[in-house]
Amino acid sequence: MKILAVSDQVIDRMYTLAPRGHFQSVGLILGCGDLPYSYLEYIVTMLNVPMYYVPGNHDPEFNLQDKRSRAEGGSNLDLQTASHENILIGGFGGCIRYRPDGINQYTQSQAYLRAFQMLPKLLINRIKYGRALDILISHSPPFKVHDDIFDPAHHGLKALNWLNRIARPRYHVHGHTHFYRNNLETQETMIGSTKIINVYPYKILEL
């Protein structure tokens, strides 16, 4: 299955490519955060396939009562797992806390506590399917993988390294780190059996 993963930056070309059937063979959309929900809603409407996403630090706080806090037609997968055509997906929103009043920001310890909340779901998957996850989607990168140790807003989360060790997904797709010197920065890193991919601003995966 082809999977379209998007993150952090609206691609204007999407508005011309999608109507021309450029992403016709895509069977699943993954959103890694910091994108206007209207953009996600446009993509899901055009491609008409399931969409799972996690919020980033520039997204509003999720509130079931408030339509503006979610993308219609998609599922907020923050701390949740889902199964689509036998592909097991887990989600982890937000990034490192760099402002005391920041939304969807967590200290390293808070991020660990959030990751622990996913354990029961991962365990059930392992019992039911023989594996915990195929794809982990997050906004933040893991610690020291595609992150920026010189910028407090772009430190990776250690809880994500831990989640990858526990869940062993085939892919971990994330956003948050932008490229300024295209092609010079590493966008894909293999750690254990997990390929970690920075999807900024979009990537096509084949599973």
- Catalog residues that contact Zn ion under the rule CB under 5 A: 34, 56-57, 176
Shortest reach from residue 18's CB to Zn ion, in Å: 24
Nearer to Zn ion, 121 or 154 (CB): 154
Nearer to Zn ion, 131 or 148 (CB): 148
Shortest reach from residue 16's CB to Zn ion, in Å: 26
Shortest reach from residue 34's CB to Zn ion, in Å: 4
Please, where are the H alpha helices in 6-105? 14-17, 37-47
Measure the CA–CA gap between 65 and 67, rounded to whole angstroms: 7
Q: What are phi and psi of 78, to 5 degrees?
A: -60, 120
Nearer to Zn ion, 70 or 176 (CB): 176
Shortest reach from residue 53's CB to Zn ion, in Å: 13
Measure the CA–CA gap between 4 and 123, rounded to whole angstroms: 27
Measure the CA–CA gap between 25 and 119, rounded to whole angstroms: 33
Question: What does DSSP assign to residue 31?
Answer: E
Residue 160: its H or E element: helix 158-167
Shortest reach from residue 97's CB to Zn ion, in Å: 12
Residue 4: its H or E element: strand 2-6
Nearer to Zn ion, 88 or 95 (CB): 95
Closest chain position to Zn ion (CB): 176
| Cis-peptide, bond into residue 201, ω within 30° of zero | yes
Nearer to Zn ion, 56 or 141 (CB): 56
